[in-house]
């Protein structure tokens, strides 16, 4: 062989080895990444019998859908999200995570439930569940109209749109399987009473408290029926909190001078919430029997007693304040009134409420811990 040819072979051989090494490295890394992803998916499916989580309701479960609509009820600015990862305001009406985020993590699905209206969501994010909730909404369509937000009916429309998107991406059979094995959380009704019935109060001209409660529950029944027709088989419905103990309600409804000074809970609001919860449980018991025959499960989630216990025993649970929120004066600030210029308490974990309406992340976590048994009922 000529010397020049040997020289060329000699000089090109190291280059070939380098290319081979890079090729094998890419293959090994890619294979490892795929295997790791498959293992994670396998572990997750083994850990949780749920395929996805879907959420409907109001600001207690809205992770940021209102960011994408024209409404004043937003929270995608500081100091909201102060204790969220990367200190990012996401549109959640609290300083960190919501109860539904803790539920999704507990089920092994994801750490955070994203808003459906976020168009940057990946297919994987969509497949494991989203929230359709909108802050300021309720079971009463008028409640959402007053706040220019997404009512329950429109949230269901978005779920239908979601289902179609999934069918186009992975097929109807796989989509139906995901929805059938999913879990749904519904949390709504507080704004119906706080703002629409008591504060405005347009609905008082048409309904008594009792008949308004029945009206809301009838709308909930229709929501459950719609979800069933769309393939959902497991649903958790939240009751109302002690509305009279929310800082904003106390501020706007002083009964006398002592109420202004002592800031005690307003019984009229809490009583309406308790009565509604009792009616709701009776109605859900009927729904439970009906859908159990068809292979479905419906459970009631009590948040009234857990929140009331935190309030009444706040010092025992490590809180120093419940009568006001962490943001601003804590008496009236919520949504745009809680903003960059608002003074904020140094440690939100010492407060039950973040603003004058919404709980802190720690409160949501403690409430979530009380209904683990309820979630397990859906699991089993």
Residue range 274-289, pLDDT digits in tens? 999 999 999 999 999 9
Residue 326: Cβ-neighbour burial (10 angstroms; 0-12, 13-18, 19+)? buried
Residue 144 covered by a domain: yes
> What span, in angstroms and rounded, lies between the C-alpha atoms of 372 and 263?
32
Q: What is the mean pLDDT of residues 130-147?
A: 98
pLDDT at 307: 98
Confirm whether 280 is domain-assigned. yes
The Cα–Cα gap between 365 and 263 comes to 25
In a domain, 106, yes or no: yes
Kindly report, residue by residue over 285-334, the tens digit of the pLDDT.
999 999 999 999 999 999 999 999 999 999 999 999 999 999 999 999 99
Smallest Cα–Cα separation from 303: which of 262, 344, 352?
352
| Catalytic status, residue 191 | no
Confidence class of residue 10 from pLDDT cuts 50, 70 and 90?
very low
pLDDT at 15: 41
Q: Does position 86 have pLDDT exceeding 60, yes or no? A: yes
Taking residue 374's Cβ as centre, other Cβ atoms within 10 Å add up to 15
pLDDT, one tens digit per residue, over 200-219 is 988 999 999 999 999 999 99
The token pair at 336 is 């745009």
The verdict on residue 45 lying in a domain is no
- Model pTM score: 0.86
**In this predicted structure, what is the pLDDT of residue 257?**
52
From CA 123, how far away is CA 89, in angstroms rounded?
Answer: 23
Could you give the C-alpha distances from 215 to 60, 150, 193, 210, 249, in angstroms and in order?
A: 21, 19, 12, 9, 23
Q: What is the pLDDT of residue 258?
A: 53
Please indicate, yes or no, if residue 202 is contained in any of the structural domains: yes
**Among all chains, which residue has been given the structure tokens 């409660």?**
213
Range of the domain at 175: 50-243+267-304
Q: Which of 48, 59, 75, 144 is catalytic?
A: 59
From 83, 144, 191, 358, the catalytic residue = 358
Q: Mean pLDDT score of the chain, rounded to an integer? A: 88
Residue 158 placed within a domain: yes
Q: How many domains does the chain have?
A: 1
Query: Cα(240)–Cα(63) distance, rounded to whole angstroms?
Result: 19
| DSSP state at residue 254 | -
What average pLDDT does this structure show over 111-122? 97
pLDDT at 47: 59
Length of the chain: 380
> Does residue 151 have an active-site annotation?
no
pLDDT tens per residue, range 242-270: 999 999 999 998 765 555 556 789 999 99
239 in any annotated domain:
yes
Catalytic entry in 62, 83, 101, 355: 355
- Residue 192 pLDDT > 70: yes
Q: Check which CATH number belongs to the domain holding 209 and give it.
A: 3.40.50
Separation between Cα atoms, residue 229 and residue 76, nearest integer Å: 34
Report yes or no on 2 lying in a domain.
no
Q: How far apart are CA 293 and CA 300, in angstroms?
A: 18
4 vs 1: CA distance, rounded Å: 8
The contacts found for 229-232 with CB under 8 angstroms, 24 or more apart, are 230/156, 230/159, 230/160, 230/163, 230/179, 231/163, 231/176, 231/179, 231/180, 232/54, 232/179, 232/180, 232/182, 232/184, 232/296
355 is catalytic: yes
């Amino acid at each position: 062989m000529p010397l020049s040819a040997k020289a060329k072979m000699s000089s090109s051989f190291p280059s070939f080895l380098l290319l081979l090494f890079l090729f094998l490295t890419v293959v090994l890394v890619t294979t490892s990444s795929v295997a790791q992803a498959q293992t994670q998916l396998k572990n997750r499916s083994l850990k949780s019998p749920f395929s996805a989580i879907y959420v409907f309701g109001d600001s207690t479960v809205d992770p940021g859908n209102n960011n994408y609509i024209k409404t004043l009820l937003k929270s995608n600015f500081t100091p909201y999200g102060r204790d969220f990862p990367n200190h990012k305001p996401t549109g959640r009406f609290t300083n960190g995570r919501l109860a539904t985020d803790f539920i999704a993590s507990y089920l092994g699905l994801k750490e955070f439930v994203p808003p459906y209206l976020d168009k940057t969501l990946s297919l994987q994010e969509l497949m494991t569940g989203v929230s359709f909730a909108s802050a300021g909404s309720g079971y009463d369509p008028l409640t959402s109209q007053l706040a220019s937000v997404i009512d329950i009916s429109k949230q269901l429309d978005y779920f239908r749109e979601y289902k179609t998107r999934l069918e186009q991406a992975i097929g109807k059979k796989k989509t139906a399987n995901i929805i059938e094995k999913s879990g749904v959380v519904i949390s709504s009704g507080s704004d119906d009473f706080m703002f629409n019935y008591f504060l405005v109060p347009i609905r008082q001209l048409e309904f008594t408290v009792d008949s308004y409660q029945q009206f809301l529950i009838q709308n909930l029944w229709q929501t459950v029926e719609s979800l069933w027709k769309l393939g959902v088989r497991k649903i958790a419905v939240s009751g109302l909190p002690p509305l009279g103990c929310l800082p904003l309600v106390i501020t706007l409804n002083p009964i006398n001078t002592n109420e202004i000074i002592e800031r005690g809970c307003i019984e009229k609001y809490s009583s309406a919430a308790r009565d509604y919860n009792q009616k709701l449980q009776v109605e859900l018991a009927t729904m439970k029997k009906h859908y159990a025959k068809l292979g479905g499960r419906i459970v009631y989630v009590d948040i009234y007693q857990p929140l009331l216990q935190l309030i009444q025993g706040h010092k025992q649970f490590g809180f120093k304040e419940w009568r006001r929120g962490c943001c601003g004066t804590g008496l009236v600030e919520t949504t745009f009134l809680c903003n960059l210029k608002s003074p904020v308490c140094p440690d939100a974990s010492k407060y039950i409420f973040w603003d004058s309406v919404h709980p802190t992340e720690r409160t949501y976590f403690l409430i979530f811990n009380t209904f683990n048994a309820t979630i397990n009922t859906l699991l089993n």
